[in-house]
C-alpha cells in the first residue's frame, strides 16, 4: 500500500518535472529569430531546413523535388559540379567558382567522398495522456527514440539514405525496444543517361505521395499505417525492394518496383503515378508568373496521385498460412500560399488477413484528410485538423485530430495534438506532446 502511494507520488512529481523541463527548454527558444539547421543534407548543401521543409520533417514543394531527383537539387545532371558553396573569385557567367579549400579537398572530390560525414541525429520525446487507460495509468512519457540518419549524394551519380533506430521505446511495448535499421538504400541517378533512377535496398515502396516521415505530427495518416487483420503489411512499412522511378515531361512522376516476399515464391509488385498542376514542377522549374498581374495560379499547386500494390505474405506467428492482398489508392495535395489540404483514400482486399480456416476475406476502406495552415513568422506555428475513417470490414474507427506545431528554431519542433478516436463500443482520447530535435 505504502509502495503504491509512493509510486503514485513519484509519478505525479515526474509529470511535473517533465513538463517543467519541456517548458524550460522551449521558452528560451521562443525568441530565437534565425538559425540554420544542420542535419546531413543541410550540412552537405549548406542550406537551411526551410529550403525543403515547412515544419520539419514535412516536405515543401522543393523538398519533394529534391527527394524525387535522388537528393540532388533541381535540374542537375550527373557529373555537374555543385552542392558546394563557391566563394567569389571571378565574373559571372565564367563559371570561375572555387570552394574555400579547393586544393585540400580536390582529392576527396575526385574520389566522390563527401567533405562532411553525412550523418545526423534526431531525438524525439513524447508525453501523453490517455483516457481510458489500462490500470488507470493515464500518463505516459516514456516514449522516446534516437535516430541516426545518413544521406547524401556522391558526385551527383549515386544517392544514399539510411535511418537507424539507435534507441526506441514505445510506452505501449516493453521497456527498451530493439535497435533496428529502418531504411538503407542506394539510388543510381539518371541510369545510363536516361531519366530513370534505380533505387535498391530497404525502403518504403513509392505508393503514397508522402513518406512516413513527411508529416508535421508524429501520428501517421491512417491510410499509410493501417494493417488489415494480423497482416503485417502497411503502405509505410520499409521493405526490401528494387524500384525504378522517373520524372517525365516535368510534371509526371512514375515509379514501379518489386518487393522480396521473404519465404514465399515470387515477388510483390507496385506502381505509382502522380501528376502536378501549377507550382514548381518535379524538376524544380518555377511556374511562369506575371509580376504585373495577380493570378490564382501564381500560388496554387495541386498534385494528384494513384497507386497500386499487389502482394502476398505469410502469417507472422508461424502457422504457415498465407494471405494474398492488393491495395489501390488515390491522393491529392493542394497548396495555396500558407494553406494546404491533403486527402488520401485506399481500398483493397485481403484473402485471409487473420490467417485462419476457413478463410475470411477482408475489404478495407480507409481515408484521411488533413487541412493545414502555416501562420509563419514571427511565430512559426502550423495549425492542422485531420479526419480519418478506417473500416477494415469488421469495425469502423473514426479519428478527429486537431494539432498545433511550433518551431522555435528550424531544427527543433514542439507539437501538441489531441486524438479523439471513436470506436464501435468505445471512445479513446489521447493528448500528445512531442518534442523533437535534429542536428
In the region spanning residues 70 to 89, those forming contacts with another protein, defined by CB under 8 A, are 73-76, 80-89
Taking residues 314 to 353 in sequence order and writing x for each that binds another protein by CB under 8 A, - otherwise, the string is -----------------------xx---------------
Residue 180 interacts with another protein (CB under 8 A): yes or no: no
The residue behind cell 549548406 is 46
Instruction: Say how many residues touch another protein, by CB under 8 A.
Output: 49
In the region spanning residues 13 to 52, those forming contacts with another protein, defined by CB under 8 A, are 34, 45-48, 50-51
Q: Cα(429)–Cα(386) distance, rounded to whole angstroms?
A: 15
Residue 408 interacts with another protein (CB under 8 A): yes or no: no
Q: Cα(347)–Cα(352) distance, rounded to whole angstroms?
A: 16
Among 71, 185, 367, 374, binds another protein (CB under 8 A): 374
Residue closer to another protein, measured from CB, 95 or 424: 95
Cβ of residue 379: shortest distance to another protein, in angstroms?
A: 11
* Region of 6-14, 67-75, 168-176, 310-318 interacting with another protein (CB under 8 A): 67-75
Residue 178 interacts with another protein (CB under 8 A): yes or no: no
Cell numbers for 409, please give them: 528554431
Cβ of residue 375: shortest distance to another protein, in angstroms?
A: 9
Among 12, 13, 96, 172, binds another protein (CB under 8 A): 96
Per-residue b/e over 69-97, b at no fewer than 16 CB within 10 Å?
Answer: bbbbbbebebeeeebbeeeeeeeeeeeee
Q: Show the CA angle centred on residue 182, arms to residues 392 and 200, nearest 5°.
A: 100
Cβ of residue 49: shortest distance to another protein, in angstroms?
A: 10
Residue closer to another protein, measured from CB, 79 or 265: 79
Residue 104 interacts with another protein (CB under 8 A): yes or no: no
Taking residues 268 to 307 in sequence order and writing x for each that binds another protein by CB under 8 A, - otherwise, the string is -----------xx---xxxx-x-xx-x---xx--------
Residue closer to another protein, measured from CB, 97 or 124: 97
Site for another protein, rule CB under 8 A: 34, 45-48, 50-51, 54, 62, 73-76, 80-97, 279-280, 284-287, 289, 291-292, 294, 298-299, 337-338, 374, 376-377, 380
Amino acid at each position: 500500500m505504502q509502495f503504491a502511494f509512493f509510486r503514485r507520488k513519484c509519478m505525479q512529481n515526474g509529470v511535473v518535472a517533465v513538463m517543467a523541463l519541456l517548458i524550460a527548454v522551449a521558452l528560451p527558444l521562443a525568441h530565437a529569430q534565425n538559425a540554420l539547421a544542420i542535419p546531413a543534407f543541410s550540412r552537405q548543401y549548406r542550406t537551411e531546413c526551410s529550403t525543403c521543409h515547412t515544419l520539419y520533417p514535412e516536405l515543401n514543394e522543393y523538398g519533394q523535388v529534391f527527394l524525387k531527383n535522388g537528393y540532388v537539387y533541381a535540374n542537375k545532371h550527373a557529373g555537374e559540379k555543385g552542392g558546394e558553396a563557391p566563394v567569389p573569385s571571378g565574373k559571372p557567367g565564367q563559371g570561375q567558382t572555387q570552394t574555400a579549400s579547393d586544393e585540400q579537398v580536390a582529392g576527396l572530390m575526385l574520389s566522390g567522398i563527401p567533405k562532411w560525414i553525412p550523418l545526423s541525429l534526431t531525438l524525439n520525446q513524447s508525453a501523453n495522456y490517455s483516457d481510458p487507460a489500462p490500470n488507470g495509468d493515464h500518463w505516459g512519457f516514456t516514449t522516446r527514440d534516437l535516430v541516426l540518419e545518413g544521406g547524401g549524394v556522391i558526385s551527383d551519380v549515386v544517392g544514399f539514405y539510411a535511418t537507424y533506430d539507435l534507441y526506441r521505446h514505445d510506452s505501449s511495448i516493453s521497456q527498451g525496444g530493439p535497435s533496428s535499421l529502418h531504411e538503407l538504400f542506394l539510388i543510381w541517378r539518371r541510369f545510363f543517361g536516361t531519366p530513370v533512377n534505380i533505387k535498391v535496398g530497404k525502403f518504403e515502396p513509392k505508393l503514397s505521395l508522402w513518406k512516413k516521415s513527411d508529416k508535421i505530427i508524429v501520428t501517421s495518416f491512417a491510410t499509410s499505417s493501417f494493417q488489415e487483420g494480423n497482416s503485417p503489411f502497411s503502405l509505410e512499412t520499409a521493405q526490401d525492394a528494387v524500384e525504378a522511378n522517373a520524372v517525365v515531361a516535368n510534371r509526371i512522376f512514375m515509379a514501379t518496383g518489386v518487393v522480396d516476399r521473404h519465404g514465399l515464391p515470387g515477388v510483390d509488385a507496385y506502381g505509382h503515378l502522380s501528376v502536378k498542376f501549377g507550382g514548381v514542377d518535379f524538376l524544380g522549374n518555377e511556374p511562369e508568373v506575371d509580376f504585373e498581374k495577380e493570378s490564382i495560379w501564381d500560388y496554387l499547386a495541386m498534385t494528384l496521385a494513384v497507386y497500386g500494390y499487389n502482394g502476398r505474405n505469410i502469417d507472422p506467428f508461424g502457422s504457415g498460412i498465407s494471405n494474398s492482398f492488393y491495395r489501390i489508392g488515390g491522393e491529392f495535395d493542394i497548396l495555396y500560399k500558407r494553406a494546404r489540404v491533403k486527402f488520401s483514400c485506399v481500398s483493397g482486399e485481403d484473402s485471409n488477413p487473420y490467417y485462419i480456416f476457413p478463410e475470411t476475406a477482408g475489404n478495407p476502406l480507409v481515408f484521411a484528410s488533413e487541412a493545414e495552415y502555416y501562420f509563419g513568422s514571427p511565430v512559426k506555428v502550423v495549425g492542422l485538423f485531420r479526419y480519418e475513417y478506417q473500416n477494415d470490414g469488421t469495425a469502423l474507427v473514426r479519428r478527429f485530430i486537431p494539432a498545433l506545431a511550433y518551431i522555435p528554431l528550424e531544427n527543433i519542433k514542439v507539437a501538441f495534438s489531441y486524438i479523439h478516436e471513436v470506436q464501435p463500443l468505445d471512445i479513446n482520447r489521447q493528448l500528445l506532446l512531442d518534442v523533437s530535435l535534429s542536428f
